[in-house]
Structure 1
Amino acid sequence: MLANLIFPSGDEVVVTVKEGNTIGDLISHLSKVYSWEEQFIHICYNSKRLESSDIICHLTSLNMVDLDIFYEKSFFTFQRNEREMAVSTVEQFEILQKIREEKVLQNIDYTFTHCPEVFVPVESLRYVTIQINNVQVEALLDTGASLSVIPLNLVKLCNLELLIDHEYTSKVECGSGYSLTMGVIYSCPYELCGIEGHIQLAVLNRQGDSMILGLNWMKLNKVCMNLGDDTITFHGKTIKTHEISE
């Protein structure tokens, strides 16, 4: 993973972060490179000051993270009324944080007053029951997944383990993050609402109670999702989706 360090001057430095590295490790690195005192170094992410124990790789699922770096003993100067004034970069950041907090609270108040319906939680994810190689499986409809994926334990349940090509691995986007596959099943039979077909599945080396029907399957079959009545249209048939209780 890479960390893009952004300084108040506008300078940016990219450093490599190993799995398990903490903010404290990064503070020690900055102290050595810039001869700064560690207790005066502050690191922020999304305007939030981080703790020394925070693990950098846990901040985001992406392979790069932007971190703001502040040194409490650094100042910048500006002219005001013909006088040169020194201002602490940390003090300015704290002022900016307070302004942002006020703006967020104002936005919450406005939303409660004018459109409170947006605070009503959406129901859980939508599933269909599908047969994979004559085995009934719950399948999540996920428009955020680039490929259809299946966990290894369901591959074994459906007797498809011998079809996995372990030479073909890829990084697939699933919802808000990425996962590395352990192989691919190029084609396996399925049945949905009496309609038979074949589907390509990326295999994830993990346990799970359901598979994912991604965009590759949806576009190929011209699936239309109706979020108003929680149905999908599949080859001319309207199929009611359902939730899975936790």
Structure 2
Amino acid sequence: MKPVRSLIGTLFAIVLLLPLASHGADFSISPVRISFAAQQKADIIMVKNFKDTPVSLQLSVMAWTQDDDAGDVTVPTEDIIAFPKLLTIKGGEEQMIRIGKRTTAGEVEKTYRIFIEELPGKDVDPAVTGPVIRTLTRVGIPIFVLPLKEQPSMAIDRVQLSGGQLALTVRNDGNTHFVTREVRVTGHDQDGKPIFQHDIAGWYLLSGHEKRYQIEVPRDVCLQLRQLDMEVVTDNSSRSERIDVTPEMCSP
């Protein structure tokens, strides 16, 4: 029988926000977020390998900002250092990654990410002769250099209902990030009865940035609406806005 060469496809899962331990199929990372106080110079990340076989990882450090609609933008930086950059952890063991800060605190929070990427291993089952898909994990750990004085501020802006399309902007006017937990829209008819609800999960919103949300309201429902209530809940505050609805707002 002729040997059959295995085809290994690589799938990357990017994990950027988890409530507790960040983990893939093969390893866990703790903590999932680092915040440097003004005088703090260093911290650590612990990585544990759940497999019986070694796992190899590669680290990269990026400055993190956002574009005009809060999409993440990362570029290499030397403000934050991580050591070691390459590591192999034996099965069932854990290893420390040291994180150092080369920058200083300022008036506005500085934001970074450390990406921990699993590298392809050699533990392919020799009995498998067909194509093999191996899932590799890439985890992004947020790192924040806190400002000298935190001044959080969030606003809801530019609320508009036109042609059955509701648009609103969540704006970060503070000097630190926040996480938008939920954007909830509830519509009421002339009797005050809720007849429309739409929830959107949010994301990190960095200082000085904004995120525009658009929600379609079905025309038959829109014509029955008299009010729309919007609530934005973040990890440190909440805001509400209300608009009156007229039939003209529902027509194309």
Which TM bucket (shorter chain)? Answer: under 0.3
* TM-score normalized with structure 1 length: 0.25
* TM-score normalized with structure 2 length: 0.25
Structure with greater proportional strand content: 2
- Higher-Rg member (1/2): 1
